Every structure is written in C-alpha cells, then in structure tokens.
Structure 1
C-alpha cells in the first residue's frame, strides 16, 4: 500500500514539474513577444523631445497622412473586390464558377512588392505600354498623360490585388454559413435581390468581412517593399530611413512607436468586433442560400468581374515575371543564387521549427492548465501578428545591442577581452523576430487541430501514468500532425516573403531571395529582380494550394 502511495506521489510530482516547466516556457515565449513593444516604447520615451519635435515639424504629418490614405484605399478596395467576388461565386451560377471560386485565392501567393516590380516593368515610362503608345501616336514624353504607377494610388492597387483574398475567403465562408430564411423573407416582402443582399446578407456577414478588411489593413501598414520601391513615404519607410540613412535610433524608435500604437489600435478593434460577432439562427433547421442561375450577358459579366482580379493579381504578373526572367542574366543555379536560396531556406526552416515549437508550448499549456495566467500568455503570444516587422526589428535590436555593448565594455575593463556583438546581427536574433511576428499564425493552426482532441484522451493518458510531456508526445502530436505541418508551411512561406525585418536584422553578407529581389529592383534592374521574385512566388503557392483544396471541399 505504501508503494502505491509512493508511486502516486511520484507521479503527481512529475506532473507538477512538467506543468511548471511547460508554463515557464510559455511565459518565456510571451515575454519574448512583449519585449519588442516594451523596448520600442522605452527607446522612444528616453530618446528625448528634440527628435520627436523635429519629426512633428518635418516628416511626421506626411507619414501619417500617407499611411492613412493608403489604409483607406486598401480597405475600400479589398472590401469591394472581396465581398463582390464572394457574393458572385456563392450566390450565383454561371459557366466557370467552380474555377473562379478557387482561382480567386491565387493572388494571395504574391508578395505585394513582387507585383510592384512586374507592373512597373510594364507600365513605367520605358515600359512596353508607354513605349508602344509613343510609337503608335508619335507623341513625345510630354505630349500625353499616363497614370503614374509609382504613387500612393499605385501602391494601393498592388496591395489591394494581393490582399483582397483575405476578405474574399472570410466573406465567402460567412455567406455559405448563412441560412436562407431571412433572405427569402426579405424577397417575399418585395425586396430585390440587391436590396435583400444589402439589407440582410451583408449585415449578417459584417463581422467576418470586417475581420478580413482589418487583416488587409494590418498587412498594409506593415508593408515596406512596395511603398519603398514606389517612393511612398509611410511610417514603414520612415523607420528604415531613420535607422540606416540617418543613423538616428531615437527617431526610428519614435516612428516605430507611432506605427505600433496604430497597429495595436487596429488589433483591439479587430478583437472587439470579433467578440461581438454573434449571430444566432432563429429557425430550427438550416436552409442553404438559394443560388441564382445566370444566363446570357449576365453570366458573361459575372465571369469577367471574377476574372479581372485573378488576371491582374496572378496570371498577368506571372507572365510578365517569366518574360523578365528570361531576358535577365540571373541564374538560379549559379553559386551566388544557391547561396541566396540556402540562406532563405535556412532562415525559413529554422524560424518555422522554432515558431511551431513555441506555439505547441503555449497552446498545450493553456489546455493543460486553463485559467487567467495561461490565457494571458496566449494573448501576449498573439500580439506579434499586429506588429509590423520593422517595429519588431527595432524593438529587438535596441535592447540586445545595449546588452552586447555593456557586456563588451565590462569584459574589456575586467579581462581586457572584447566580446564584440554576440547577439546583435546574429541569425538567432532574426529567428526570434520571425517567431514574434508569425507566432499567432502557428498558434491558430495548432489550436484548430487541438480542438479535435477530446479531453478524455488527456484523462486516459494521465491515468496510465503519462507526464504532461508524455501526453503531448504520445497522444497529441501524432493526432495533430496535419495541423502542425500546415503551421510549419504557413510560417515557412511568410518568412520567405518577409522583407523589413530581414533587411534591418540580417547578419552581414547574409542575403536572402527577398533581399536580393529588393536590391536589384532598387537599382532599377527589374529584369534581374524577376528571378528571385519567381522563386519566392513558387514557394508562396504551396499554402495557397492548400487553401484552394479547402475551398473546393467547402462547396
């Protein structure tokens, strides 16, 4: 009997120890996600008022107005494209609708800055469109007006074309889940299909649509490659300019704080509206929304309207990039490009593994010990999705550079040894930035799979003497393999496309495909930039294919 009691006490001790270790890791991850924001705020406050006063008198109003204008244009554009396309493929039937409902997701594979390179090559003054126009008409450079692609409006169009799938996917899911009861009641009361959509279906889908638009807006304020290449002065470009061109860390931190405040405000709005997103079906059964059969010019118009964003956001850019790449002197198989590919794969693979491991620790701790502490850790871990990469980069470099400099000064004074920069400029600090930025995506994928694991499985594992880590290894991970692979793939692709954090934090002489594409485009070598851009696009297609398969199953 004593042996049994001793065994039970040992099992409880091991379980408690495992829970404490897991909790310690989860809180360490949450602290790592909170550190950049605290560091940016502290650096901005201690930077003095001279810098911020100068910024207010000079560039800050311009940064704010341009950023707000860009946000407004992207919000309106993604709303119109995403909701319109979702309604057409969900509520109407026309030839090619099955193809369109999947193809509308494809532009999500493109980074906005790659799209900017392709369209600049075609639409800029030396491009084929304006060159052909001058040849046909005999006009000179000052004899005609042509829309300027390198502008705030041009950047907004690039962002709209790659970000509208966020709104499309969420709006389409909301329309599919709606019951036809309210819509048919409105039609029976004399409302036209358009009126019923505007007064009934759209308000019921509002929370999902608002969530998609806010996601697009947060990606917009985080964008650096597109606005930097087009010469649009936003907070993102201001941070990079202050850090590198002006070597003014205080100005960079204060601009980062402004951008961080705006991003967190959007995150609070998104979470608040999601918390209020409750719609209850009053009927006893769910009736599928009726789809209208379109014929003649209506069917043609619906197909064209759905095809326009697919052609402009995917097919045409792919054709342009392939043509550009064929005319360039860049060779993906050369030793130099093999190095870029190796660096990109090393960063993306390492960051994906570390990020998914962190998501497992945070998610499993919340399941193992639900309560305020674990919920707080999970909430802090999700904050990174709302923080632009440039802000995270500044927030990590400032404290770790101070640590490295302090340690080096102490070692010099004590042992006459210089330690240099141990952490600043290292791959591991860059991987930490990626983890903070993309942990929310990995955590969402993990929790989606974890919800399918019944709590009885945990109880059975504990009754068989399994520790928390044993339960995770032998029960959860085998069941969650598909969700974990999805999380790995999502983070891997996001890291491949990430530009601002990589530009600011990468080690010396450690360039990636994204950095190479940005450098070539900045030097106006657009044909060369097409080659690494196509490689990034090829990798970006992988999660989009998974999303397309899911869209096909949902029909």
Structure 2
C-alpha cells in the first residue's frame, strides 16, 4: 500500500523531470523580450528567407524520399517472395547505423569534380553537363537514404500485421493489385507510416553535420553561426524558437496521420505472395538502396583507412574514442535510471497529472540538439548570474553537467520506450505470487523484475548510448574544453575538406552504431520465430 504523501512525492519528481524539457522551450520563447532589430534586419536582408525555403525544401524532399523508399521496401518484404529476402529484410535496417554526416562527406567526395564518378564520366562522355556535388538534391537523397529505415521498420510491421486475407477480400470485390494496395493496405498502415515519417522529419530538422558538409544553410547552421560567428546568443535563441515551429508542424502531421486510425490484425503473418516476374527486380531495387545507403560508404571509408595506414591510431584518437564512450555510457546510465523511474511511477501510481508529466518528459526527442543547446546555455548563464549576485561563484556553462542535461532531455524518449515495454512484461500476478511466497521487496526486484526486464533495459542502454555517441549539434555547442568526441572530430576534419583523415573516426562510429541495429534485428527475429 502507498500513502498519499509517497504518491505526491513521486508525482512531484515526475513533474520535475517534465520541467527539464519545458525550461529550454520557455527560455527560447522568452528570448524575444530582448530586441535584436539590427541582427534581424541583417538576417532579413541576407539569409532568412533562404533559410525558410531550404528548410521547407528539406522537409518536402525528405518526406517524399523516405515514403518512397520506406513504404515500397516494407511492402515488398512483407508481401512478396524474392531472392535474398531472408537477409535483405534485416540488412535494410543497417543504414540506421550510418550517421547522416558520414554519408554526406562520402557522397561529396564521390561526386566532386576530382572524385571517381565525374572522372569516370569525363573519360566516356565528350561533354559533361553541369554537375555540382553540393546540389540541394544530393542533400535530400543523402538524408532519405539514412532515414528511410524509420518508415521501413514501422510500415513493415503494419503490413505484416494485416495478413493476406484482407487483400484477398479486396481482390474478390473487384480491386486490382495496385488498387488494393492504395485503397486497403496503405490506409491501414497509415499510423505506423506517420509515426516513422515524424521521426524522420525530426531528424531532418535536427541535422547539422550533413547540411554543413553540403554548404546547405538551414536553421541549424544559422543557429551555430549566430552563436559562434556573430557571438549573439539571443539571436541564436530566437532562430531556435523559429525552428520549433517546423518541429510543431512535424508533430502535427504525425498526430493528424494517426487521429482517425483504427488498427486491424488478421491473424498475424500469412503465407507471402510470390511474383516470379518481379522477384529479381525487387531484389535489385532493395540491394541498390542498401548499396548506396550502407555498403558503398562503408567500402569507401575502409579504402581510406587502409590507404592511409590501418594501424595509425595515436593517443589523440584513443582519447576521442574514450571520451565518446564515456559520454555515451554516462548519459545512457542516467537516462536509463530516470526513464525507469518514469515508467515505474506511471505504472504503480497512475493519475492524469502523472500521465501528462510523462508525455512532457519524453517530448525532448522532438527538440533538435541545437535548440536544446541554446536553451540550456541561456538557462545556465542566468543561474550563474543569479548565484554570482549571491556571492556564490559556480561555473555551469560549458560543463559536463550542461552537456549531460542536453542528452537526458534529448534522448529520454529513446530510453523510455524499451523500459516501459519491458516493465509491462512483468505481470502483477507474478509479483503477487512472489509476495505470497514470502519474498521481500528486494527479492522481488532481484528475482522477478530484473530478469524479466533485462533485455529491454539493455536495449534502452544501447540505443541511448549509441545515439549520444553520434549526436553532433549539442555536443559541438555545449562540450567542455578538451571533451572532443568522434562526432566533433569528424565535423572539424570535414569542415576543412579532410575526407580521408575523417574516415577512421567515421568508420568507428558506424561500427558502434551497428550494435543496437543488430540487437533490434535479433529481438525482432526472435519474436517472429
């Protein structure tokens, strides 16, 4: 039994975590109280409308790209038999391990005037048309290749849940195969597709490394330039608040996509349909996407690493790996602890206020890292000034605490999902049976909760850890002096055009990112078997 006081204390702790997400947003909105007319006039005369146009172009282009790749591949894998389907169904998730900024600098190198593609074309074509390696279309293609697995994964689950019977009924009623797909299968899978699309759009809005490499100015690059170029933190905050409008639009699209959703499951997976004439075409299409999104960049990185000397690992590189791993571990353990507490309070002390607080606490994934960085920097600067007025000299800005706070707010949702699902696996009847047999609270936790929740806890730990290791904007803006990571080093080298020197840290990040992808694939295979 729990007392009202214990419930109030738990609810207050959850509300406090929710404030961690709300404070940066409130601080950004409050930045409009300070006039920055000269800065805004400069932005209006130079880049503001280009920033808005580029951001909208990215949103529309990536939406089309991830829907085309994700939905088509999910449909083929879920409903068709084709050569290589057994390994392609999990291999198509491998691009999730590829940071967008890594694929970006590989694409620029391959497509550049001195790169292998243009060099080859000049040998065979008498006249080579205008060919820019930094055309905006390549930005859209790069982000689409990296982000389509979000749509592919959720759409595939939705298509597999429909089964074959519902499509056969549509065919009996006179629909063609294509008509049955667009009128029956696609609307039924819309909730999962909308959720995956929202994730892809949020990652697009949060991207900083890829757009910087392509010299494609968006709000994230403008925030960085306002901060480090104009040294105007208030202007950066106002730009970050405008970026939130695009985030709100992405969230609204996701909610609208699922507002009238009705889930239907027809007996799980059925026998897959086989179309021999299309089989090899589907295989070539799936392999081409996998090749462009993962195999080609990994091969290029390996070539650079071997060409520059495979064993060139100095003390600085080892320190980069250590700091990257240390930050990922600290943030993952902290997020796992807080997410576990959120899930525990939500389950054992449910109330409307707790439910709202949990939703707010897990909303941080929708906030780009640059937005969080600006909000946290302003908040910590204000606290520093307040403490200084009281005679307390404490440094908070550009400290490890500020960086870890950004990670916690940004990736709380990533850790909360697996933890909550793992906690739901522990049925109350099992806990009651253990208590009836005389087990203490500590024994119930050690012998019931921990063993049953361990897979979900490990999944959350890996997902958060790898996301933190790959995160660039917040790390670049908030890192303490001397705390460079692999992602920061990649940015520094690619900003100078040192593609080959960036290959070793990039390949290391890709290999680290493969770990959670393999874990997710293995768990998915285990559930299907």
TM range (shorter): over 0.9
Determine which of 103, 107, 127 is the counterpart of 2:95.
107
The residue aligned with 2:284 is 304
Gapped runs of 5+ residues in structure 1? Answer: 1-10, 412-417
Whether the 8 Å CA contact 1:114–1:533 is kept in 2: the answer is yes
Kindly report which structure 2 residues correspond to 1:169-184, keeping only aligned pairs within 5 A, or say none: 169-184=153-168
Whether the 8 Å CA contact 1:25–1:361 is kept in 2: the answer is no
**TM-score for both structures, normalised by structure 1:** 0.89
Shift of the 180–135 alpha-carbon distance from structure 1 to 2, 3 Å rule, reads closer
**TM-score for both structures, normalised by structure 2:** 0.93
Shift of the 480–112 alpha-carbon distance from structure 1 to 2, 3 Å rule, reads same
Cα offset, 1:22, TM superposition: 3.3
Whether the 8 Å CA contact 2:197–2:254 is kept in 1: the answer is no
Whether the 8 Å CA contact 1:243–1:249 is kept in 2: the answer is yes
The residue aligned with 1:382 is 362
2:126 corresponds to 1:126: no
Shift of the 151–469 alpha-carbon distance from structure 1 to 2, 3 Å rule, reads farther
The residue aligned with 1:252 is 236
> Matches of 2:231 and 2:307 in 1, distance apart?
38
> Matches of 2:356 and 2:322 in 1, distance apart?
37
Cα offset, 1:312, TM superposition: 0.5
Residues 372-398 of structure 1, C-alpha deviations (whole Å, 9 max, x = no match): 121021011111011000000001000
Determine which of 479, 502, 519 is the counterpart of 1:529.
502
Q: Rg bigger for which structure?
A: 1
- Partner of 1:247: helix, strand, or coil? coil
> Matches of 1:209 and 1:20 in 2, distance apart?
38
The residue aligned with 2:449 is 476
> Matches of 1:59 and 1:351 in 2, distance apart?
36
Alpha-carbon RMSD across the aligned residues, in angstroms, is 2.5
2:318 corresponds to 1:352: no
Residues 99-118 of structure 1, C-alpha deviations (whole Å, 9 max, x = no match): 11111111111001000111
Shift of the 84–355 alpha-carbon distance from structure 1 to 2, 3 Å rule, reads same
Cα offset, 1:289, TM superposition: 4.7
2:216 corresponds to 1:227: no
Determine which of 437, 453, 456 is the counterpart of 2:429.
456
> Matches of 1:523 and 1:109 in 2, distance apart?
24
Determine which of 480, 486, 493 is the counterpart of 2:466.
493
The residue aligned with 2:133 is 149
> Matches of 1:400 and 1:468 in 2, distance apart?
39
The residue aligned with 1:45 is 33
The residue aligned with 1:508 is 481
Determine which of 71, 74, 79 is the counterpart of 1:86.
74
Kindly report which structure 2 residues correspond to 1:312-351, keeping only aligned pairs within 5 A, or say none: 312-328=292-308, 333-351=313-331
Determine which of 252, 258, 273 is the counterpart of 1:292.
273
2:526 corresponds to 1:550: no
Which stretch shifts more, 30-39 or 305-314? 30-39
Residues 88-128 of structure 1, C-alpha deviations (whole Å, 9 max, x = no match): 11111122111111111111110010001112222111212
Whether the 8 Å CA contact 2:188–2:264 is kept in 1: the answer is no
The residue aligned with 2:415 is 442
Whether the 8 Å CA contact 2:373–2:478 is kept in 1: the answer is yes
Determine which of 209, 213, 217 is the counterpart of 2:201.
217
Gapped runs of 5+ residues in structure 2? Answer: none
- Partner of 1:495: helix, strand, or coil? helix
2:336 corresponds to 1:363: no
Shift of the 54–372 alpha-carbon distance from structure 1 to 2, 3 Å rule, reads farther
> Matches of 2:63 and 2:12 in 1, distance apart?
40
Task: Number of aligned residue pairs: give it.
Answer: 528
Residues 73-97 of structure 1, C-alpha deviations (whole Å, 9 max, x = no match): 1110110111111111111112211
> Matches of 2:259 and 2:419 in 1, distance apart?
21
Shift of the 68–469 alpha-carbon distance from structure 1 to 2, 3 Å rule, reads farther
Whether the 8 Å CA contact 2:190–2:258 is kept in 1: the answer is no
- Partner of 2:500: helix, strand, or coil? helix
Cα offset, 1:250, TM superposition: 1.7
Whether the 8 Å CA contact 2:121–2:128 is kept in 1: the answer is no
Whether the 8 Å CA contact 1:343–1:511 is kept in 2: the answer is yes
Which stretch shifts more, 428-437 or 460-469? 460-469
Determine which of 476, 491, 507 is the counterpart of 1:518.
491
Whether the 8 Å CA contact 1:18–1:469 is kept in 2: the answer is no
